[in-house]
Chain A
């Protein structure tokens, strides 16, 4: 069966520090990978998605970047964190691109930038 791992679960970082969140998927090949952010009390906003190694698409301009160095690994990074980067970050994977393809989510990372 497929599983998705995301870490760390909680992170407190000072403004201006770098960031690296990692997500890995097991039990499937060539997944579509996603990074979402959820601000407190709000819905999910898609940040990045990837349909293959080295293929990254950004949905919104921001202080963050994403990379996919391996088929089942997706990394969210920042060189210098801003206060506005605080939020709950969720990694997800999907098997295809049709309208009925559901996403499977990791357990999330709560990022607090102080």
Chain B
């Protein structure tokens, strides 16, 4: 079963507007972590934001915030005041609390294009 689902292959937003990138996940664990990474055209994966399953507050990092809805198993990334430099691929990922090695599992990504 797919652990991380990103249903938006591509998203468009105008500069200075906010945009939400969707992510749903599947796990039976009570303890897990959710991550968002940005991959610009250069290819490097850049960590953006983290949300723990027991965190009561939604995570925020500058213009990035994570809309965490635990009951719905969703962890959407909100980018406020989009900038041209935000154009990139965005990946949602999850790490579960399991015995043994806990690997980071990625979704298929959403390509965001910010227009002037």
Contacts and interface: CB of A to CB of B under 8 A. Distances in A.
A102 B101 contact: no
Interface string B74-115: 000000000000000001000111000111111111000000
Contacts of B4: 43
Nearest to A96: B102
Contacts of A90: 43, 45
Interface of B: 4, 31-33, 35, 37, 42-47, 50, 52-53, 91, 95-97, 101-109
A97 B101 CA distance: 7
A101 B95 contact: yes
A7 interface: no
For chain A, give the interface size range.
20 to 34
Contacts of B31: 99
A99 B44 contact: no
A57 interface: yes
Contacts, number: 60
Interface string A34-60: 100000001110100101000001010
B106 A44 contact: yes
B101 A99 contact: no
A100 B104 CA distance: 10
Nearest to B44: A107
Nearest to A103: B104
Given A99-B96, A102-B50, A51 B101 contact: yes
Given A44-B91, A99-B31, A99-B32, A88 B102 contact: no
Contacts of A31: none
Nearest to B53: A99
A57 B101 contact: yes
A46 B102 contact: no
B43 A108 contact: yes
A64 B101 CA distance: 21
Contact of B33 (A88, A100, A106): A100
Nearest to B96: A99
Contacts of A98: 102
The 4 closest A-B pairs by CB, nearest first: A99-B33, A105-B45, A108-B43, A43-B106
